[in-house]
């Protein structure tokens, strides 16, 4: 758990780094350079409507192709970016690039409502002038605000709840979507639903992927029911079998995002996927 030391310093506790300390320092300086070297790109994972399987949006996921190491996982470099402040630049890049792509794809026939989700770190929300950035990006690319969705996670409240609430209210007023990511994994996730103006809840993969403990369907059902009663749409993350997908459909869970439907795609592949669909429809 990241602990606030005052100011902007955040002291990380990342067990895996202890054993790879020198590797991390190297990665840190490499990450600074990666930006200028065009080693960072976005992948886009389709989000499908469960009832029909049609692609209704994408989540933008950052990718780092390290010149020597090859691909580095965001699970490894995003925490480094957060702890060094680099996340502000990386986040701005992701937001701009995702909306730029989205505005292009929305011009395809029948795709004007297509949405894109972008992950926002709590540090990025608090430090960066995110509200202004979002306003400018929406204007720059001329997309409808509700087709941009920002994904936020658990660490939100820990850092600065009052400021977070105010910023999220401002974003909400602008019309952008707000998704609570990885729902169910943090101890305060239920209280988030009272504090913050989310419109979408993403059920964490741990409830849908891998070993099927008997409790899982009950937990998933409760989450979907509660979300709907609160007026939230639901995305099931990582659903990996037809049985679970069928159960989710019966619960009227709106969306799914998982390898079962599609892995993350390059921007070019994503565009092609949308085109194929419209071509098929027309014929």
Give residues in contact with Mg ion (CB under 5 A): 119, 151, 181-182
Residue holding tokens 């929406």?
A: 138
Give dist(CA 73, CA 90) in Å, integer.
15
Which of 30, 181 has the CB closer to Mg ion? 181
> Which residues, listed in sequence order, are joined to residue 65 by a DSSP beta bridge?
71
DSSP character for 45? E
Q: How far is the CB of 272 from Mg ion (least distance, A)?
A: 23
CB closer to Mg ion, 12 vs 110: 12
Neighbouring-strand partners of residue 150: 118, 178
CA 124 – CA 126 distance, rounded (Å): 5
Task: Count CA atoms closer than 13 A to 50's CA, side-chain side.
Answer: 26
Q: Which is nearer to Mg ion, 259 or 276 (CB)?
A: 259
The distance of closest approach from Cβ of residue 151 to Mg ion in the complex, given in angstroms and rounded to an integer, is: 4
Give whichever of 108 and 240 is closer to ligand C2E, judged by the CB atom: 240
From Mg ion, ligand C2E, none, interface partner of 74 (C-beta below 5 to 8 A by class): ligand C2E
Q: Do 32 and 252 form a contact (C-beta atoms < 8 A)?
A: no
Q: Are 156 and 189 in contact (CB under 8 A)?
A: no
Q: Which is nearer to ligand C2E, 213 or 278 (CB)?
A: 213
Shortest Cβ 142–ligand C2E spacing (Å) = 22
Of Mg ion, ligand C2E, none, which one sits near residue 184, judging by CB under 5 to 8 A according to partner kind? none
Distance CA 99, CA 104 (A): 9
Find which of Mg ion, ligand C2E, none residue 229 binds, CB within 5 to 8 Å per kind: none
177 binds, among ligand C2E, Mg ion, none (CB under 5 to 8 A by kind): none
Alpha helices by DSSP H, 112-264: 122-127, 130-141, 155-159, 161-174, 189-195, 216-229, 242-250
Supply the minimum distance, in Å, between the C-beta of residue 202 and ligand C2E.
Answer: 7
Nearer to Mg ion, 82 or 151 (CB): 151
- For the chain, the first-to-last Cα distance in angstroms comes to 53
By CB under 6 A, name the binding residues for ligand C2E: 45, 61-62, 73-75, 78, 91, 94, 119, 121, 151, 181-182, 209, 237-238, 240, 257-259, 264
- Which of Mg ion, ligand C2E, none binds 186 (CB below 5-8 Å, type-dependent)? none
């Amino acid at each position: 758990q990241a602990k606030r030391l005052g100011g902007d310093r955040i002291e990380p506790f990342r067990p895996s780094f202890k054993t790879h300390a020198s590797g991390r320092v190297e990665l840190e300086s490499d990450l600074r350079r990666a930006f200028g070297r065009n080693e960072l790109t976005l992948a886009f994972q389709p989000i499908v409507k469960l009832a029909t399987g049609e692609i209704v949006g994408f989540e933008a996921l950052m990718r780092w192709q390290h010149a020597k190491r090859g691909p580095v996982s965001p699970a490894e470099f995003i925490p480094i970016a957060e702890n060094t402040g680099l996340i502000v630049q990386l986040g701005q890049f992701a937001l701009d690039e995702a909306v730029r792509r989205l505005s292009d794809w929305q011009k395809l026939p029948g795709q004007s409502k297509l949405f894109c989700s972008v992950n926002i770190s709590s540090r990025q929300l608090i430090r960066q002038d995110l509200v202004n950035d979002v306003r400018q990006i929406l204007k720059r690319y001329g997309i409808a605000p509700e087709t941009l969705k920002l994904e936020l996670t658990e660490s939100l409240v820990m850092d600065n709840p009052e400021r977070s609430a105010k910023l999220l209210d401002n974003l909400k007023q602008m019309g952008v979507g707000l998704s609570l990511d990885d729902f169910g994994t943090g101890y305060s996730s239920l209280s988030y639903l009272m504090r913050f103006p989310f419109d979408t809840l993403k059920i964490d993969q741990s409830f849908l992927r891998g070993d099927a403990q008997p409790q899982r369907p009950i937990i998933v059902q409760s989450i979907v029911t509660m979300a709907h009663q609160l007026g939230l749409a639901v995305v099931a993350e990582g659903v990996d079998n037809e049985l679970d997908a069928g159960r989710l459909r019966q619960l009227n869970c709106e969306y799914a995002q998982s390898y079962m439907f599609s892995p993350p795609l390059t921007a070019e592949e994503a565009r092609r996927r949308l085109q194929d669909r419209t071509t098929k429809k027309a014929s």
